[in-house]
Structure 1
Amino acid sequence: MLESSSFKRDVLVMEQPSGACHRIGLKAIKQLLIKSDIYLSSTLLDACLAAGVSVVILPGRAREPARHLFPETNGALRLRLAQYAAYLDPQQRLEIAQQFIIGKITAQADCLRRHGIDLPSERFIRHVRASTDIASLMGIEGASTARYFHRWAVLLNPGWEFTGRNRRPPRDPINALLSLSYTLASHAVGRLAAQAGFETALGFLHSPSAGRASLALDVVEPLRPWIDDWVLTFCNDSGITPDSFVTDPKTGCRLTKPAFGQFFQRWYTSAEHGLEHQTRAQLELLRTKLGCEPNWSLPPADAA
């Protein structure tokens, strides 16, 4: 936990209650993640966004969404015009949304297959292709995901309990891990989408809403089964147990402070690199669908 922070000459100075002081150059930072009250100067935030550093603020209350600040790229006008045109064309918007859901359903089957469970997906994919509006498409996705999680639960080691997805607030350890992982993944996707020139607020499957990175939520959909698999592995071999969580009627189920540190260390060393590679592939597919040339200017996945 930080007690205070300051910013001088492109160096972030962080002081802890123990008296320890850390200095980190802004060029070595990819994102700031904030999960408690802390003062950040406007100078620091401006410098972060100018340097391509994104900021994610985890919710302090159970039913609040995470907040994301993404640095934006220059020279993205043509791509954004194509994105808006596709959104305003009902048929093209539906086709793009269908591709996100087909990718998700296919990935769900692949995830379970890696663990020895066969879950045929052809029927759901046929329904997706036959859907005529976003509402029916979301209904098909919901049914597919409920079926998938029903099978997924048996893959957990003894001691873990999971009966299905719940959120805002998550009511059990597995859902707490899934919600936290999806939040971090959405931020990573949104950051890369902004860097690539997309309008992150304009989604196709998820309608635009104030303060929401709807396009990031779209792109995360086919990546969720990969994130689920990462959470499954984390639960089964990290040493984290259901005792590593606390539950509050208002804020729901959350990791303890020591377990938070273990989770973040594991996420940023084993999850984010692979997630960024997959995100780039999804963004290039979307760029092609919008009729724009591939963007080879995206920074490498291990860039700061």
Structure 2
Amino acid sequence: MRKLQNTLYITTDCYLHLDGENVVVSKDGDIVGRVPLHNLESIVTTGYTGASPALMGACAQKNIDLCFLSRSGKFLARIVGETKGNVILRQEQYKKFTDSEFSISVSKNMIRGKIYNSRWILERYTRDAPLRVNVSRLKEKSKMIAEIFMKIDQVTSANQLLGIEGSAAKNYFSVFGELILNQKNTFQFVERNRRPPLDPTNALLSFCYSLLCTMCMSAIECCGLDPYIGVYHVERPGRPSLALDLMEELRPVMVDRFVLNLINTRRLKAKDFLKKEDGAVLLTDEGRKKLFLSWQNRKKEEIQHPYLKQKVPWGLIPYVQAKLLASYVREDLDGYPPFFWK
């Protein structure tokens, strides 16, 4: 277990239960940790042993997120209490999200943010590491992505937008491996794969995308919106469509850059991964500990928000974007402003 800021991370197979006002962590019958609930905003566990109903009930009552992830970082479930969001806001959300014109306008801005941010990751590497990357190839792909970006204005349907997003992603990930500057033998990247990830780089991307999805779900809930009713991702039972929508523009800047930094600074190495018989690659317990520590430190770093023009910690960016979306739903804004990083 590891407590970072107001989040308790459980990285090994432990059982969580309630003792008074404390969450108790037990492993093989022995107590390995005890943390007061009033110190926590969320609990994230990657263990399979589980949690007691009493603890789940206490977390729901005290508005403490209890999130369950698989060992690979896939989001499994989240225990939340009674929804207390603004019912008027949710009514507006349900009404407007069924309006194709409204939905496509929000979706286009979210994908604008994703494509723009992906392109600038490539541009930053040509500037910051010109002697270690193939500048001409990255510039070529950046130009192609910029041309794809300009086509968004002509989009009139979700299917067209999906095609544009896929084309941009194909160009972006075709050179993603060239951004890995160190440990190239361990962290080779040929293509994006998942369910399961088949190499360490994809394992990191998948795990961190799950963490980002959890952050986006919490942000949306806090703003009074329904995370299961989206504008871009199709609704399916149990699928947090709006959280998946919101994280699109944040994937490159909050996950891809973070993963590249973990690799290039050698904070994670080959020993932090294991390969299963079916070919799936997972983080070890120690690897997850290192990742969680770096993830929390990253969330504390500040950035100038491009729309608010104020310094905001990275960890609050999903909350800011969710607030802006809620403002657009309430018609306090003329449009949804995507997060453009540069």
How far has the Cα of 1:253 moved from its partner?
0.8
Equivalent residue letter for 1:4: Y
Equivalent residue letter for 1:79: L
Match of 1:235 in 2: 263
Are 2:47 and 1:36 aligned?
yes
- Bigger drift between 137-146 and 284-293 goes to 284-293
- Bigger drift between 110-119 and 88-97 goes to 110-119
Counterparts of 1:33-182 in structure 2 under 5 Å?
Answer: 33-59=44-70, 66-71=76-81, 73-116=83-126, 117-118=138-139, 119-120=142-143, 121-156=145-180, 157=182, 158-159=184-185, 160-182=187-209
Matching residue within 259, 270, 282 for 2:287: 259
Match of 1:285 in 2: 324
Q: Percent identity?
A: 25
- Bigger drift between 133-142 and 179-188 goes to 133-142
How far has the Cα of 1:82 moved from its partner?
1.6
List per-residue Cα deviations over 1:36-77 (Å, max 9, x = no partner). 222312221121122221122223699x75333344652411
Equivalent residue letter for 1:281: V
- TM-score normalized by structure 2? 0.78
SS in 1 for 2:228: coil
- TM-score normalized by structure 1? 0.88
Q: How many residues in Structure 1 have an aligned counterpart in Structure 2?
A: 293
Cα distance, 1:218–1:173 mapped onto 2, change above 3 Å? same
How far has the Cα of 1:242 moved from its partner?
3.0
5+ residue gaps, structure 1, are 295-304
CA distance in 1, matches of 2:124, 2:72: 36
- Bigger drift between 277-286 and 171-180 goes to 277-286
Equivalent residue letter for 1:228: D
How far has the Cα of 1:239 moved from its partner?
3.2
Residue 223 of structure 2 contacts residue 326 of structure 2 at CA under 8 Å; is this kept in 1?
no
CA distance in 2, matches of 1:253, 1:61: 8
5+ residue gaps, structure 2, are 1-11, 127-137, 302-312, 334-342
CA distance in 2, matches of 1:140, 1:22: 49
Residue 70 of structure 1 contacts residue 194 of structure 1 at CA under 8 Å; is this kept in 2?
no
RMSD of equivalent CA atoms: 2.4
CA distance in 2, matches of 1:80, 1:162: 41
Q: Which protein has the bigger strand share? A: 2
Residue 246 of structure 1 contacts residue 253 of structure 1 at CA under 8 Å; is this kept in 2?
yes
SS in 2 for 1:45: helix
Counterparts of 1:3-14 in structure 2 under 5 Å?
Answer: 3-14=14-25
